[in-house]
Structures are given as C-alpha cells and as structure tokens.
C-alpha cells in the first residue's frame, strides 16, 4: 500500500474520532444546560406552590374567622330571642294568675247570688200559694176550673184572630194572584190571533136538482143502502130542498161519505159499483188529508218530531167539532196559549206546548174506545213514546187526576181559555139558562142564603145571606165552601167568581 494513502486513512480515522469525541462533549454540555433549566423551573414551581399555599392558608383562616363571627352573632340573636320569649311567658303566667283570681272571686259572688235567688224563689212560691188560696176563696173556683175558663176564652180569641188573619191573607193573595193571572192571560190573548167559530157541525151535501134525490136512492133503494153500508153513515133524504144530510158519530166516516157523494153527484153515474169505487177514492183522499192536517197542525203549533201515528190521530180532529169549535184548531190554539203562559211563568215551554197540542188526542177515537178522552189520549201518547211529563198534561187536563206539575196546570188554563174566549163556541139559549139555574141552585143549597144571582154569563155568582144567621167569619167560610161545591158538582168553562154579601141594617124612627 502506498505511504500517502496510509497517512490519509490514519488522518481520516483520527478526524472521525475527534469528531465523535467533540460531539459527545457537545451533547454533554447540552444535557447539563437542560438539567440546570429544569432545576430552575422546578425551583420556580416550588416557590409558586409555597406562595399559593400560604395564600390559601390565609384565606382559610379568614373564612374560618368569618364563619365563627356569624355563628357567634346567630347564637347571640337566638339567646336574645329566648330571653324575650321567657319574659313574655312570665308576663302571660302573671296575667293568667290574675284572671284566675278574678274568676274565683266571681264564682264566690255567683254562689252568693244563687243562694239569694233560691231564697227569693222560695218566698215567691209561698206568696203564689197564698195568692192562689185567696183567689180560690174570693172567686169560689178551683185552679183547674179557672184554667179551663181562661183557656176557653183565649182559644176563642185566638180562633177569631186566626180566622181574620187567614181571611186577610187569602184576600191579599187572591188579589195578587188575580192581578198576576190577569196580566199573563191578557198578554197571551193579545199575542194570539184566532178565528171565530163559523163552521157547521152537520155535513150537508148540496144537490143540483130535486131529481138527484131519486138517483141517489136508486132502484128499490139499492144505491143509498150501498152508500150507507160502505161508509157507515146515515144518508137522510127529507123535504129539505136541494140538499142531502149525512149523519154519523164518526166525523171521519161522515167526511168520506160527503166526498164520495159529492163526486158521485158531479160524475152523474150512480150505481153500486161506481159508489164502491168512489168510496175507496174518498177514503184515500181523506186519509191523505188527515195526515197533512196533522203535520200542518204540528208545524203551526211548533211541535216537530211527533210520531207519524200521533200525527194521524191529531189530523182526525180536523173533522171533529165541540159546540161548533173545530177541535184541531182548538188544539193548536191551546198549544200556543200554553206556550205563552208557560213562558210568562218560567215553566217548561216545550212540555206545555206539546201537552196543549195533544190534550184532546183521545177525542179522535173516543167513539171507538171506552173511557174518557183524557185517559184515552194519555194511553195513545204512552203507546207511541211521548215523554211522561207531556202524557201527564194530557191525562190531567180535565183534573180527573190531580195535576202534579206547573205545565199540567198551564194546559188546564190554556184549554179553558181557548174554549171559553168570546166566539170560541156556540151554546144554545136553553143550555145557557140551565147552566145559570144549576149555578144558583148550588148556592141555595146552603143554609142562611137569602138570594143568589148568577151574573156575567155565569162567570160570577153573588150570594146575599141573612145577617142574623151567618156572621162575618161564616160568610167567609160560605164563600170557600160554595166555590168547592161548584168545582165538584158543575161543569163550566173558565172560572166562576163567588161573592158573598152580608148586610146588617139598623133602622130606628125619631118621633
């Protein structure tokens, strides 16, 4: 190997070794500097921790001191409060002791007064006994006899006073009730407009000529017999010119016969087969008219939702009359009046309205079913689901049973008002006079009655009594008894006023 290369290698190796040694020395110096910095940082952190520890100790001591002061203040306040309570308790205890002493003094005083009262009571008893003995000696009566006389006198005075008070109260209540009723009825009548009765109660079919009577009778009477057999009415052909009268207790049958006969007369072909055909057509026509009349009446009265069968029975009243008054119009009028009166009284308007509309429902079939029309109508209403309050209005409208509701009484009043208003019904003179005579006869049946006069078309009766037989209280009782007997024994529309007059005259002559 050449010598130059060898020196180069040696110097290279020496340089590398020197570099390694230098790097190691440098690394060692860097490590020492880092350790020194870490030590300085650790010393700084320790110093900071010591400083923070001292601060926390100071804060903890301050907080402990503050809490201690607060607790001491609260303890001091509670101690003061306890001292105040102790003082108040002592004061109350002293007050109670004083009150107890006062009560004891009062009890001793009451005991002394009670003893004095007992002594006075004993003295009063002795005096009362002495006075009783003296009174018995002077009056010659025992205590029981005097008591009986005194009680009898007091009883008589109390009875007279009670009768006078009852009379005054009844007069006052009657005046108030009459005034209130008058206002309600006048209001209802003013708000209701109704027709005056003008319909005829007999079905009369006019004829174009007298020859038509023979055609209606037919050969050997076969036509008239066929018509009577199919319709169930009596065809009366008399001397009345150009007219035929139809008679039947069933108004629907009479209407069917009238329609059929009118059509036969217009057609001119009158024989049994044609009569049967016309009667069938008339039945269908009248049934349709009945249904429409019932629906129209319910609509006019403001009572929707009634059962179809109820409407059919109601429509049959279109052909029913009472004293010339059409019963269907009477039912609608009663419904309106009942609704108006119920509204004024604050009663159930719908119950009164429907009860008024259906109150005469039984008259549609009363010629077919036994019983009064009020009971028959109530049974029909129950059968078709009419509510119980309305059924009661129907059943009680003639007071066959006692009315149990305000609405039932309202229906009774509305029915009477509709039937008794001027122009509602026609009454013959003979029936009118009989009704007045019966009213006066009831008055004459009482003892002490001198004269009786039925006035105002039978709506008032004035009774004059003998003053030597009936006193003032007796006149009051007579008026009440007479009104009750009239209610029980007579039938009349509306109400009857009973007036009893007792007059005592003193006459003397100066000579």
Cβ atoms of 353 and 301 within 8 Å: the answer is yes
User: Do the beta carbons of residue 262 and residue 205 sit within 8 Å?
Assistant: yes
Residue 426: its pLDDT value, please?
45
Q: What is the pLDDT of residue 144?
A: 72
Tens of pLDDT, residues 142-170: 667 767 777 887 787 777 777 778 878 87
What pTM, to 2 d.p., does this model score?
0.45
Backbone angles phi, psi at 184, to 5 degrees: -65, -45
pLDDT tens digits for 251-310?
A: 788 888 888 888 888 888 888 888 888 888 888 888 888 888 888 888 888 888 888 888
Q: What is the pLDDT of residue 183?
A: 64
Residue 394's φ and ψ, nearest 5 degrees, are -65, -45
Residue 380 CA to residue 309 CA, distance in Å, equals 9
Say what the pLDDT of residue 452 is. 92
Plot region of 218 (φ>0 → left; ψ -120 to 50 → alpha; else → beta): left
Query: Which tokens sit at 42?
Result: 């650790």
- Between β-strands 234-236 and 243-247, what pairing exists: parallel, antiparallel or unpaired? antiparallel
- Whose CA is closest to 457, among 415, 497, 506, 490? 497
pLDDT recorded at residue 195: 46
429-502: CATH topology is: GMP Synthetase; Chain A, domain 3 (3.30.300)
Per-residue pLDDT, 4? 63
Domain 203-420: CATH class, spelled out:
mainly alpha
| Residue ranges covered by each domain of the chain | 203-420, 429-502
The per-residue pLDDT for 323 is 59
Residue spans of beta strands (DSSP E) within 182-227: 203-206
pLDDT value for 197: 40
The answer to whether the beta carbons of residues 481 and 446 sit under 8 Å apart is yes
Helix axis angle for 406-420 and 143-191, nearest 10°, is 60
pLDDT, residue 449, reads: 92
Q: What is the 3-state secondary structure (H, E, C) of 413-466?
A: HHHHHHHHCCCCCCCCHHHHHHHHHHHHHHHHCCCCEEEEEEECCCCEEEEEEC
Q: For 472, phi and psi rounded to 5 degrees?
A: -65, -45
Low-confidence residues of the chain, pLDDT below 70? 1-4, 7, 22, 25, 136-143, 146, 181-202, 239, 322-324, 419-430, 432, 456-457, 492-495, 511
- Residue among 409, 387, 396, 336 nearest 362 (CA): 396
Under 8 Å between Cβ of 233 and 244: no
> What pLDDT is recorded for position 344?
83
């Amino acid at each position: 190997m050449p010598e130059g290369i060898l020196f180069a290698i040696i110097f290279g190796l020496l340089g590398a070794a020197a570099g390694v040694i230098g790097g190691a020395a440098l690394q060692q110096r860097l490590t020492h500097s880092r350790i020194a910095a870490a030590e300085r940082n650790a010393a700084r952190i320790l110093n900071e921790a010591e400083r923070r520890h001292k601060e926390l100790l100071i804060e903890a001591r301050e907080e402990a001191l503050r809490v201690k002061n607060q607790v001491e203040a609260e303890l001091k306040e509670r101690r003061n409060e306890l001292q105040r309570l102790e003082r108040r308790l002592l004061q109350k205890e002293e007050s109670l002791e004083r009150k107890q002493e006062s009560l004891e003094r009062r009890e001793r005083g009451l005991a002394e007064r009670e003893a004095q009262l007992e002594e006075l009571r004993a003295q009063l008893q002795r005096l009362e006994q002495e006075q009783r003995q003296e009174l018995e000696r002077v009056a010659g009566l025992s205590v029981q006899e005097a008591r009986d006389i005194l009680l009898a006198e007091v009883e008589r005075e109390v009875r007279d006073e009670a009768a006078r008070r009852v009379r005054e109260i009844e007069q006052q209540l009657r005046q108030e009730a009459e005034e209130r009723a008058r206002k309600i009825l006048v209001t209802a009548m003013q708000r209701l407009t109704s027709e005056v009765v003008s319909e005829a109660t007999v079905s009369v079919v006019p004829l174009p000529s007298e020859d038509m009577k023979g055609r209606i009778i037919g050969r050997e009477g076969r036509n008239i017999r066929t018509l009577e057999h199919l319709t169930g009415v009596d065809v009366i052909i008399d001397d009345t010119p150009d007219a035929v009268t139809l008679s039947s207790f069933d108004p629907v049958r009479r209407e069917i016969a009238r329609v059929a006969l009118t059509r036969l007369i217009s057609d001119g072909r009158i024989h049994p087969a044609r009569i049967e055909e016309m009667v069938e057509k008339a039945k269908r026509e009248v049934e349709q008219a009945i249904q429409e009349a019932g629906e129209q009446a319910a609509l006019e009265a403001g009572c929707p939702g009634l059962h179809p069968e109820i409407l059919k029975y109601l429509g049959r009243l279109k052909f029913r009359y009472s004293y010339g008054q059409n019963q269907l119009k009477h039912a609608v009028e009663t419904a309106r009046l009942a609704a108006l009166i119920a509204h004024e009284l604050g009663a159930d308007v719908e119950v009164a309205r429907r009860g008024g509309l259906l109150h005469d429902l039984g008259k549609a079939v009363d010629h077919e079913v036994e019983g009064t029309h009020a009971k028959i109508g109530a049974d029909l209403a129950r059968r078709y689901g009419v509510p119980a309050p309305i059924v009661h209005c129907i059943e009680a409208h003639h007071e066959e049973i006692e009315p149990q509701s305000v609405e039932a009484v309202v229906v009774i009043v509305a029915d009477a008002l509709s039937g008794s208003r001027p122009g509602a019904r026609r009454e013959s003179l003979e029936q009118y006079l009989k009704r007045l005579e019966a009213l006066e006869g009831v008055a004459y049946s009482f003892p002490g009655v001198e004269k009786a006069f039925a006035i105002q078309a039978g709506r008032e009766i004035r009774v004059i009594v003998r003053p030597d037989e009936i006193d003032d209280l007796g006149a009051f009782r007579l008026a009440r008894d007479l009104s009750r007997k009239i209610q029980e024994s007579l039938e009349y529309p509306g109400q009857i006023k009973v007036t009893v007059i007792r007059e005592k005259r003193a006459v003397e002559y100066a000579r």
